[in-house]
């Protein structure tokens, strides 16, 4: 049972965002480079402190919107990292979130100004503290999400081909999905609308563009990917 609040030791609480984006056929992570010791030159996730008057969700959202200029971000709690010695600078409890953002649409100047950079998930630089583990767990969580719901709305451009969507899933699960079976499965969900436009950059025949139906079709709890 909780005893009197006054005699309890308070803790510093931070959030760290694992920010996923998709660009040039690659799943990427938004990272900052440390300019001071310790771990100078190493990279870190997009973190910040939690203010007294906000929830950890508010904090994570505030940090990310002010960095990217985007609103309406998809974010989800991942896990709390709280080993007493996880941060050499002092005892900090960190709540990790992951976010999905559209690299095309975010404010590049703002991100550049803060010195942030996009890194391919399968070719990350050394990360500080336990941030490597955080990214790992976040990717696992994203896989869970992508196996239940169709992700892509937040990562792909508004109009995309099934090949692009499949490649995104290839990146997330780090495996090659069979083109025929993937399209059959995805279309059976009835969540996409085919446009009368084609992308002819990848093939002579051309691949139809699709959009997500604007209704909340994401709401299927059915399983998409078995993993």
Partner DNA sequence: TTTAACAAAAGTATTAATTACTTTTAATAT
Partner DNA sequence: ATATTAAAAGTAATTAATACTTTTGTTAAA
Q: Which residues of 174-211 are buried (b: 16+ CB within 10 A; e: fewer)?
A: eeebeeeebbeebeeeebbeeeeeeeeeeeeeebebbe
Token pair 């996409």 is at which residue? Answer: 192
Would you say 12 or 158 has its CB closer to DNA? 158
Give, as ranges, the residues between 148 and 187 that touch DNA (CB under 7 A). 161-163, 178-181, 183-185
Contact mark string toward its own copies, 14..53, x via CB under 8 A: x-----------------x-----------x--xxxxxxx
When binding is defined by CB under 7 A, the residue of 204, 215, 216, 221 that contacts DNA is 204
Query: Which run of H or E residues covers position 64?
Result: helix 56-68
Among 38, 84, 88, 179, binds its own copies (CB under 8 A): 84
Asked if 219 is part of the footprint of its own copies (rule: CB under 8 A), the reply reads: no
The binder of 47, among DNA, its own copies, none, by C-beta within 5 to 8 A per type, is its own copies
Query: How long a stretch of residues is the chain?
Result: 227
Q: How far is 78 from 70, CA to CA, in rounded Å? A: 21
Q: How far apart are CA 64 and CA 41, in angstroms?
A: 22
Query: How near is the Cβ of 210 to DNA at its closest, in Å?
Result: 8
Residue 197 found at the interface with DNA (CB under 7 A): no
Residue from 30, 56, 165, 192 binding its own copies (CB under 8 A): 56
Confirm or reject binding of residue 198 to DNA (CB under 7 A): yes
Which SS3 state, helix, strand or coil, does residue 81 take?
Answer: strand
Q: In sequence order, which residues have a C-beta less than 8 Å from that of residue 221 and are 6 or more positions away?
A: 148
How far is the CA of 76 from the CAs of 79, 199, 204, in angstroms?
10, 32, 40
Least distance to DNA, CB of residue 75, Å: 28
- Cis geometry, peptide bond prior to residue 38 (ω within 30 degrees of 0): yes
Report what 203 binds from DNA, its own copies, none; CB cut-off 5-8 Å by kind.
DNA
Instruction: Note whether 132 and 31 are within 8 A (CB).
Output: no
**Does residue 17 bind DNA (CB under 7 A)?**
no
In the complex, which residues of this chain contact DNA (CB under 7 A)?
Answer: 161-163, 178-181, 183-185, 198, 200, 202-208, 223, 226
Binding site for its own copies (CB under 8 A): 1-3, 5, 8-14, 32, 44, 47-57, 77, 79-80, 82-84, 89-93, 95, 114, 221, 223, 226-227
């Amino acid at each position: 049972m909780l005893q009197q609040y006054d005699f309890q030791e308070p803790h510093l609480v931070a959030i760290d965002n694992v920010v996923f984006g998709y660009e040039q056929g690659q799943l990427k992570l938004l990272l900052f480079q440390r300019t001071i010791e310790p771990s100078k030159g190493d990279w870190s996730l997009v973190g910040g402190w939690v203010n007294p008057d906000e929830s950890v969700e508010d904090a994570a959202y505030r940090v990310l919107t002010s960095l990217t200029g985007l609103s309406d971000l998809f974010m989800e709690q991942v896990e709390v990292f709280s080993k007493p010695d996880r941060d050499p600078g002092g005892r900090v409890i960190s709540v990790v979130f992951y976010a999905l953002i559209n690299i095309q649409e975010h404010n590049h100047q703002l991100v550049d100004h803060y010195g942030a950079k996009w890194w391919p998930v399968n070719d990350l630089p050394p990360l500080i503290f336990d941030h490597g583990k955080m990214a790992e767990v976040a990717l696992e969580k994203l896989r869970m999400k992508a196996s239940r719901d169709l992700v892509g709305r937040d990562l792909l451009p508004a109009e995309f081909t099934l090949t692009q969507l499949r490649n995104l899933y290839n990146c997330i699960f780090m495996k090659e999905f069979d083109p025929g079976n993937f399209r059959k499965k995805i279309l059976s969900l009835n969540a996409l609308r085919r446009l009368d436009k084609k992308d002819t950059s990848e093939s002579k025949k051309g691949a139809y563009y699709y959009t997500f139906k604007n209704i909340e079709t994401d709401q299927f709890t059915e399983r998409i990917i078995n993993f």
